[in-house]
């Protein structure tokens, strides 16, 4: 479903929504609207990172990083830093390493309530306490990237985040051409 806003920046305004469900419904609709006529992954994931950042901020979740790691054809078992909002982060992560690498390798969403208890967690920012990583899977079953969100509080993410972010990952597969 698509929605029209007056200016592009208006899509970043989630202040009228108070519940996670309403906020995420709007995020998914906004993402789809912004992708109309545009299939380039850099362009679409840049706006998606901004939507995620502003949506979580509006819910008062202490998100300190929101973005993407992407698989490039030349290195099919490595995640490379993609569009994001937040502080500078590590550039590449091999499949199987860290929370991102675990999601990429297993193709399973990783919800980590305390990163200190996740063996092999890669601490890009020492302030991060919890994290969620959702794999983006192509129509032919390959990992094309991950959605990564970090939070400055423990237990930042739960089941509803997993459900909505997995829907976002499916939309990304449907709307973006990679490589
Ligand atoms: N913590 C991640 C690394 C990426 S940063 O959080 C942006 C991990 O363990 O894979």
Segment 100-111, tens digit of pLDDT: 999 999 999 999
| Centre of ligand 1 from the C-alpha of residue 37, in Å | 32
Q: Give yes or no for residue 1 having a pLDDT over 70.
A: no
Segment 30-72, tens digit of pLDDT: 999 999 999 999 999 999 999 999 999 999 999 999 999 999 9
Nearest CA to ligand 1 atom 1: 122
The pLDDT of residue 4 is: 78
The pLDDT of residue 36 is: 94
Q: Which atom of ligand 1 is nearest to the CA of 102?
A: 10
In this prediction, residues 2-6 reach a mean pLDDT of 76
Q: Which atom of ligand 1 is nearest to the CA of 118?
A: 9
Residues paired with residue 83 on neighbouring β-strands, in sequence order: none
Residues with a CB atom less than 6 Å from ligand 1: 65, 89-90, 93, 98-101, 121-122, 124, 131, 148, 150
**Long-range contacts of 16-21, Cβ-Cβ distance < 8 Å, separation of 24 or more:** 17/58, 20/59, 20/160, 20/161, 20/164, 21/160
Confidence of residue 7 (pLDDT cuts 50, 70, 90): confident
């Amino acid at each position: 479903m698509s929605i029209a806003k007056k200016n592009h920046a208006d899509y970043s305004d989630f202040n009228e929504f108070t519940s996670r469900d309403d906020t995420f419904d709007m995020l998914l609709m906004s993402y789809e609207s912004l992708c109309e006529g545009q299939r380039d992954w850099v362009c679409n994931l840049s706006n998606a990172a901004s939507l995620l950042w502003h949506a979580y901020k509006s819910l008062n979740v202490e998100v300190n990083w929101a973005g993407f790691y992407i698989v490039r054809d030349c290195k099919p078992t490595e995640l490379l830093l993609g569009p994001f909002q937040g502080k500078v982060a590590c550039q590449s992560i091999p499949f199987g390493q860290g929370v991102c690498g675990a999601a990429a390798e297993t193709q399973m969403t990783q919800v980590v309530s305390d990163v200190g208890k996740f063996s092999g967690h890669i601490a890009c920012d020492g302030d991060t306490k919890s994290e969620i990583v959702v794999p983006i899977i192509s129509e032919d079953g390959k990992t094309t990237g991950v959605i990564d969100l970090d939070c400055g509080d423990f237990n930042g993410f739960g089941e509803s985040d997993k459900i909505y972010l997995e829907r976002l990952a499916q939309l990304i597969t449907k709307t973006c051409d990679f490589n």
